[in-house]
Chain A
Amino acid sequence: MPSPTPPKFFLRFFRWFCDPDLHSFIEGDLLELYGERARESGKQKADRRFAIDVLKLFRPGIIRSFQFSKYLQNQPSMLKNYFKVAWRHLLKHKFYSLINLSGLTIGMSCFILITLYLQYELSYDDHHEKADRIYRVIQRQEGNVFRGTDLFAVNPAPLAPALKEVFPEVEEAITINDPRYANETIILAYEDRIFSPRILYADKNIFNVFSIPIVEGTGGMSLEDPNSILLSRSLAKKYFGEEAPIGKSLIFNKEKLLTVRGIFEDVPENQHLKFDFILPLESYPHYQRDKSRWYSNNYRTYLVLREGHDPKVFEEKLLSFGKEIEARYTGNTFGAKLLLQPARDIHLHSKANFESSATSDIRYIYLFGSIAFIILLLAAINYMNLATARSINRSKEVGMRKVLGARKTQLVSQFLGEAFLLTGISFVLSIALVKALLPFFNNLLGKIIPFSFLGNSWFLIGMFITALLIGGLSGLYPALFLSGVSPIKAIKGRFLNKFGQGNLLRNALIVGQFAAAVVLAISSIIVYQQLHFIQTKKLGYNRDQVVYAPFYFKEINDKYETIRNELLTHPQITEVALSNNLPIDGDNQGIVRNWEGNDEERGFGCYRHYVDYRFLDLYEIELLEGRAFSPLHPIDSTDSYLLNESAVSAIGWTPESAIGKGFRNGHVVGVVKDFHFQPMDLSIEPMFMMLYTAQNTSTKYGNISIKIGMGELDQTLAHIQQTFKQLVPDIPIEHHFLDESFDRLYESEHRLGQAFNIFTLLAIFIASVGLFGLISHSVVQRSKEIGIRKVLGATAGNIVQLLSKDFIKLVIMAVVLATPIAWYLMQKWLQGFAYRISIDWWVFLLTGLVALSIAFLTVSLQSLKAASVNPARTLKQE
């Protein structure tokens, strides 16, 4: 068997730069290590390590002293001369250098920032040792579409043990629970330090699945004892400061004494499960009851597959296993298909109900990836265009070099070298810029992306290679173009006609550049419009001036009337209402089969809201028919239903005919107008309301909504806090503004929208800077022509027109090209929303006009300047 050979490129690179005295010895070391690694962990890994080693060897001490004489066959001064000329050129034409440098630097900075963001988003749950084998089990409940999907990220408690028992390929399976309202239900106290950290109930094998380093004490073992608690490092610090945490006692929800048994490292931000402390699953209040019940669909199941097992095959087995569960299942039918979901895919690909934390969308990754690419391309094109256009100024130099015997390869390498020099400078600049801008970028996106590519050699290498590619690509065309002309023409400076050869390519590139910028601009306007539309759409209820306080303890419900009366004593508080859900987060849904004339043949998913007498008034929800709940009708507490329009039409009634009809175990007394109780990407679904009473709701959890007046906001809020503090002193209650919470539903879209706008602006800026450079060049080039035209009687207007015409034509072409592309892309994007704007034609017109005027402004400023110069000055200079 032939032994594997290391990557040629890196080996050659190493031979090239290494000190010849050391070369054979180090190469021996490298090859020895390579052979060993290839044997142990395969060629691919060995190749990668080899490349890293070589790049890490590229440092002073190992790099030989480059003697130009050896390198350039006795032309020691040649390379120095190239460098000197390039440097002089940069300095002499400060203006063009600045344009190139700023374009490239901005382009590369955007590219690096976006790549950092993408890398971060893609790194979710990547840090677990078994990351590639961890799967989450989720369910597809066919026919039960809830919040737009029939996938559910929950499972019955006995599932994980059963999977582990039945399937040998399951290395480990665990059950965990992170109660949805966890971060608020929990009160964890130590002496006077009371916080509400994020909770996780986990079985003891969690550490066999996720890599959560234990820094102190024990991990899995201590989860066998129901009275133990594991804290994250920073939470422990919050409670105990510098004291040793192990063995200390915390009070959980004011009733249970827990002993700290272990401290684990804070879970990284880029992990979909987020928690600050772990309690044993055994201590979860319902677990003892649930652990043998197959309809306790309330837990999360994660498993690790043994190495070498195909998840697809295992998924097939799970399908038939579902039927087995069915057999053991008593009571309701289970009816769910079990599916596997790689843990690493959850953040970007999962759309299931009841996610543990907000997930993102792979489409954003593609979107930002393409923006990064486009911006970089725009910057590269700038360089390319300007370099070819300006090559005429270098023609004499090229001619002279050719006459003196320069070979084509030498010239190519000279010009390529210049491109590399420039990209190299902007690469360094942009890394500094990224470092400076990253905090703002993080702020903008609400992320904590670390500036870590110094620790991550792959990232740095990737970026470096990108910079080289940009340099190479943008320098290649000018280099080939310049070195290819015949020396006589070159010296005469006549190898370019008015606009030069390469005109076509250059024009095409300008069109491409502007088209890309216009597409981005149109998209960002439409994205903005859609987000604005969502936030201001008539919801069917009034969310302004509403403060709400969620609660999680029965005491509050018991004292509700007292609290309400006390709140209403303040003149600015006009109404107080009680409900289980707020209008922004309807999430309680079930199938209804029982209504007059149906005989349980048909069913439809229907959301439930439990509200008190004042709810409709407070939120100004319109009643179409019938009446609202009222204390005057005692029957309301057991028998009355309010339906929304969608529910009425799902049954096949009209609002008028619905009144008095039998529905579930009661009767319909009123029909309300449809209002949005879910995010805008979902349409309004059927919903009924019942009176909020102890019989039909869990009174532990609910929301108190408070309508407040316009003035004296501070005092009003202080009164609200004071009331709670006075009446339920030992329960922390927070109040929120409903409109703020509503906006938060769209926060990530909003943030990404903003980032999108910024990058769009930068793209337009880069494109305009390029155009500006080109036009300035063409003005300088044609200064004599302009002079003669003026002498012969041309007006300034004529000259502006002459100079602008060509460029403006190109920009118009770009706008025409961009319009259908942008329309198509945006049409696709908007389809993801249940409620969306229609794309207005004026957006295209406006963007086109703006693009044109930016271009026109850029062009005409320069040409005006040229037109106003005294022709005598331009004509006499040679």
Chain B
Amino acid sequence: MKKYRLGEFEEIVMLTVGILYGKAYGVSIKKEIENRADRKVSVGALQVSLKRLEKKGYLESYAGERTEERVGRPKLYYKITAQGQRAMEYNHELRNNLWTALPKFLTDPKFNI
């Protein structure tokens, strides 16, 4: 099913948007990923990925409030679309299937490889 393809970073972004339900905009997503995944996320990489996901129809955005710390610039909030949710579920399922198909000894702690 080609249409549900999600990259690694894209999947992280999708999940993070889901976690931050209702509060997901550029800075909050960036921080959440940096905290959870312990990696640096550049504004550029994130924005490109958000935009691409929006183009694919997995995310949709709406303008939010203007705060003082943003010198009056509005926030752009993101939320997951139904299509996006399907894509995430598909990915999750795919991974689960792959994990169960893995030979047992690979995941058994007795066999330390």
User: A residues touching B (Cβ–Cβ < 8 Å)?
Assistant: 22, 24-33, 35-36, 52-53, 56-62
A26 CA to B44 CA, complexed, in Å? 9
A-B contact pairs, 21 of them (CB 8 A): A25-B63, A25-B76, A26-B47, A27-B73, A28-B66, A28-B71, A28-B75, A30-B43, A31-B73, A32-B27, A32-B67, A32-B70, A35-B69, A36-B69, A52-B42, A56-B45, A57-B43, A61-B47, A61-B48, A62-B48, A62-B51
With both chains docked as a complex, state the minimum distance between the C-beta of A483 and any C-beta of chain B, in angstroms. 36
Residues of B within 8 A of A29 (CB): 25-27, 30, 43, 47, 70
Q: How many B residues, CB 8 Å from partner?
A: 22
Contact partners of B25 in chain A: CB under 8 A: 25, 29
B22 within 8 Å of A by Cβ? no
Q: Which A residues touch B74, using CB under 8 A?
A: 24-25, 28
- In the assembled complex, B5 has its CB within 8 A of some CB on chain A: no
**Residues in B whose Cβ lies below 8 Å from that of A58:** 44
B71 A25 Cβ-Cβ under 8 A = no
Contacting pair B44 A28 (CB below 8 A): no
Question: Shortest CB–CB separation between residue B42 and chain A, in angstroms?
Answer: 4
Nearest A residue (CB) for B42 = A56
Whether B48 and A28, one on each chain, are in contact in the complex, defined by CB atoms closer than 8 angstroms, is no
Shortest beta-carbon distance from B109 to chain A in Å: 15
Contact B52 A61 (CB under 8 A): yes
The residues of A that contact B47 with a CB separation of less than 8 Å are 22, 26, 29, 57, 61-62
| Residues of A close to B30: CB separation below 8 A | 29, 33
Query: Does B44 lie within 8 Å of A59, measured CB to CB?
Result: yes
- A28 and B42 alpha carbons, distance in the complex (Å): 15
A56 to B43, alpha carbons, bound, how many Å? Answer: 7
Cross-chain contact A25 with B48 (CB below 8 angstroms): no
Judge whether A25 and B42 touch: CB under 8 Å: no
Are A26 and B26 in contact (CB-based, < 8 A)? Answer: yes
A59–B44 Cα distance when bound, in Å, is: 8
User: Whole-angstrom distance between the alpha carbons of A31 and B73 in the complex?
Assistant: 9
Q: A27-B73, A28-B70, A29-B47 are in contact. List 10 more A-B contacts (CB 8 A).
A: A25-B26, A28-B75, A29-B26, A29-B70, A32-B27, A32-B70, A53-B42, A53-B43, A56-B42, A57-B43
Contact residues in A for B76 (Cβ distance below 8 Å):
22, 25, 28
For the complex, what is the distance from the CA of A42 to the CA of B52, rounded to whole Å? 34
CA distance A332 to B47 in the complex (A): 70
Given A28-B73, A35-B69, does the pair A22, B51 have CB atoms closer than 8 Å? yes
Interface of A is mostly: helix
CA distance A61 to B66 in the complex (A): 24
Residues of chain B contacted by A24 (CB below 8 angstroms):
73-74
Nearest-neighbor residue (CB-CB) of B45 within chain A: A56
A6 → B minimal CB distance (Å): 10
Distance (Å) between the CB of B31 and the closest chain A CB?
A: 9
Min Cβ gap A377→B in Å is: 34
B68 to chain A, nearest CB (A): 9
Contact flags B44-62 to A (C-beta < 8 A → 1, else 0)? 1101100110000000000
A30 to B25, CA, bound (A): 12
Bound Cα distance A60, B44 (Å): 10
For window 56-113 of B, CB contacts with A under 8 Å fall at: 63, 66-67, 69-71, 73-76
Q: How far is the CB of B25 from chain A (nearest CB, A)?
A: 7
Give Cα distance in the complex from A62 to B49, angstroms. 10
Docked complex Cα distance between A59 and B27 (Å): 19
**Chain A residues with CB below 8 A from B51, complex form:** 22, 61-62
Q: What 3 pairs across the A-B complex have the smallest Cβ distances? A: A28-B73, A25-B76, A29-B26
**Across the interface, which residues of A come within 8 angstroms of B52, CB to CB?**
61
**Contact partners of B69 in chain A: CB under 8 A:** 31-32, 35-36
How distant is the Cα of A594 from the Cα of B74 in the complex, in angstroms?
Answer: 88
Q: Which residues on A sit within 8 Å (CB–CB) of B43?
A: 26, 29-30, 33, 53, 56-57
Minimal beta-carbon separation of A424 from chain B (angstroms): 21
Taking CB atoms and an 8 Å cut-off, the chain B residues in 1-45 that contact chain A are 25-27, 30, 42-45
**A29–B73 Cα gap in the complex (Å)?**
8
- Report the separation of the CA atoms of residues A24 and B66 in the bound assembly, to the nearest whole angstrom: 10
Instruction: Output the least CB separation between B78 and chain A (Å).
Output: 10
Q: Across the two chains, which residue of chain B brings its CB closest to A29?
A: B26
User: Taking CB as reference atom, which chain B residue is nearest A61?
Assistant: B48
- How far is it, in angstroms, between the C-alpha of A25 and the C-alpha of B47 when the chains are bound? 10
Task: With CB as the reference atom, state the residue of chain B lying closest to A457.
Answer: B42
Residues on the A chain within 8 Å of B48, using CB? 59-62
Give the distance to chain A from B69, nearest Cβ to Cβ, in Å: 5
Which residues of B have CB within 8 Å of A53? Answer: 42-44
Q: How far is the CA of A563 from the CA of B5 in the complex (A)?
A: 75
- Return B59 CB to nearest CB of chain A, in Å: 13
Cα–Cα distance between A52 and B48 once the two chains are bound (Å): 16
Q: Which residues of A contact B63 (CB under 8 A)?
A: 25
Chain B contacts for A61, CB-based, 8 A: 47-48, 51-52
Interface centre among B52, B66, B67, B76 (most CB of A within 10 A): B76
Q: How far is the CB of A432 from chain B (nearest CB, A)?
A: 24
Alpha-carbon distance between A35 and B52 when the two chains are bound, in angstroms:
28
Residue of B nearest to A39 (CB): B69
| A25 and B75 contact, CB distance less than 8 A | yes
Q: In the complex, what distance in Å separates the CA atom of A753 from the CA atom of B63?
A: 63
> A residues within 8 A CB of B71?
28, 31
Closest beta carbon of chain B to A581's beta carbon, Å: 53
Chain B residue at minimum C-beta to C-beta distance from A59? B44
Bound Cα distance A32, B26 (Å): 10
Which B-chain residue is minimally distant from A50 (CB atoms)?
B43
B66 CB contacts on chain A under 8 angstroms: 28
Chain B residues positioned under 8 Å from A59 (CB to CB): 44, 48
| Closest partner residue, chain B, to A18 (CB atom) | B47
A25:B44 contact, CB within 8 angstroms: no
Please give the distance in Å from A12's CB to the nearest CB on chain B. 15
Tell me, rounded to whole Å, the shortest Cβ–Cβ distance linking A41 to chain B. Answer: 15
Q: Is the CB of A56 within 8 A of B70?
A: no
CA distance A58 to B47 in the complex (A): 11
Cα of A28 to Cα of B27 in the assembled complex, Å = 9
Bound: A61/B48 CA distance, A: 6
CB-defined contacts of A33 to chain B, threshold 8 Å: 27, 30, 43
Shortest CB distance B49–A (Å):
9
Query: Which residue in chain A gives the minimum CB-CB distance to B51?
Result: A61
In the bound complex, CA of A22 to CA of B69 (Å): 18
Contacts of A25 in B (CB 8 A): 25-26, 63, 73-76
The residue in chain A whose Cβ has the minimal distance to the Cβ of B61 is A25
Q: What separation, in Å, do the CA atoms of A26 and B49 have in the docked complex?
A: 13
**B42 proximity list for chain A (CB < 8 A):** 52-53, 56
Q: Closest approach, in angstroms, between the C-beta of B85 and any C-beta of chain A?
A: 23
Q: Quick one: closest B residue to A26, CB to CB?
A: B47
A29 to B74, CA, bound (A): 9
CB distance from A436 to the nearest CB of B (A): 29
Partner of A57, one of B27, B44, B67, B75: B44
- Closest Cβ of chain B to A7, distance in Å, is 15
B75 contacts across to A, CB distance below 8 A: 25, 28
The interface centre, meaning the residue of A29, A58, A60, A62 with most chain B CB atoms within 10 A of its CB, is A29
In angstroms, Cα B45 to Cα A30, docked, is 13
Q: How far is the CA of A35 from the CA of B68 in the complex (A)?
A: 11
Q: Which residues of A contact B67 (CB under 8 A)?
A: 32
CA distance A826 to B99 in the complex (A): 71
Chain B residues in 8 Å Cβ range of A35 = 69
User: A212 to B83, alpha carbons, bound, how many Å?
Assistant: 48
* Bound: A134/B29 CA distance, A: 38
Residues of B within 8 A of A26 (CB): 26, 43, 47
A147 to B6, CA, bound (A): 66
